[in-house]
Amino acid sequence: MGRGVSKNRWVILAMAMLLFMAASDTGFGENVYDWNFKPAKNNQPPTTEPHYIELLDRYDGYFIGDTDTKNIYLTFDSGYENGCTDVILDVLKEKGVPAAFFVTGYYFEREVDLIKRMDDEGHIVGNHSWNHPSFPDLNDEEVISELAKVEKAFKTLTGKKMNYLRPPRGTFNERTMKIAKEEGYQHIFWSFAYVDWDPDAQKGKTYAYDRIMDRVHPGAVLLLHSVSKDNAAALGDVIDELKAEGYQFQSLDHLTGRRFPLLDQ
């Protein structure tokens, strides 16, 4: 077999794998989607798949805000603790910036003081499931249980309800989005992310700063992971520079229209 034919086979296999990742299948005979967006150059807003937009519209989800205004929505996925969340909260408090933290059951079992601090300091605490499974792999009752266990723990701690969900692993389908809406949740996806979630593969403050500043855009929903020391180190400089460029940091409640808090910028 010639080298050209072999190369073509690998291209076909790679394309097939990409299609599988974008819409694989569960034991329920359903498509499974992995959230993705298509970055643009020169700090322009990204796009995503048309059928993702249709699902977001149908089930009141968001991945980006108004792209004509310089608002930023800062969100953190918090699956477990790595000693960085207090540092991040210190920076947010110093800069007067709101954020959303999507937490798992780990925090209610081991880091309840951090949950209390997030809430006490005015940040949104969102549902990231109790055990971080892929929701499309679960049946309806299991999805509801994953949401309800986090919700119950948060309500017991704070007396408050949760409104926002970030699906664990970024996987979803119409069934799981429908369940979440019926349980009172809005999906919050993202229009910016980078490879920051591996504590053993951190590349330094400057790397994190450059990745964020290269892709930030009006209406951005930034996804950062709170386990990243790089994010914790770069966050203050990112906030200062974006404010200098005219951006305002807003709450997810501003994005969704639940309420419009006045922020000291």
3-state secondary structure of 77: strand
Query: Is the Cβ–Cβ distance between 119 and 160 less than 8 Å?
Result: yes
Tokens 């540092």 correspond to what residue? 87
Q: How far is CA 1 from CA 5, 7, 9, 11, 15, in A?
A: 7, 10, 11, 16, 21
Give the chain's radius of gyration (CA, Å).
19
In sequence order, which residues have a C-beta less than 8 Å from that of residue 170 and are 6 or more positions away?
A: 34, 35, 189
Q: How many CA atoms lie within 13 A of 14 on its CB side?
A: 6
Tokens 């309840």 correspond to what residue? 112
Query: Is the Cβ–Cβ distance between 242 and 94 less than 8 Å?
Result: no
Tokens of 73: 């929505």
Query: What φ, ψ does residue 229 adopt, rounded to 5°?
Result: -65, -30
**225 classed as catalytic:** yes
Active-site residue among 123, 128, 225, 254? Answer: 225
Please give the span between the terminal C-alpha atoms of the chain, in angstroms, as a whole number. Answer: 64
Active-site residue among 77, 187, 196, 254? Answer: 77
**123 classed as catalytic:** no
Query: Is the Cβ–Cβ distance between 114 and 107 less than 8 Å?
Result: yes
* Beta bridge mates, 78: 103
Active site residues: 77, 225
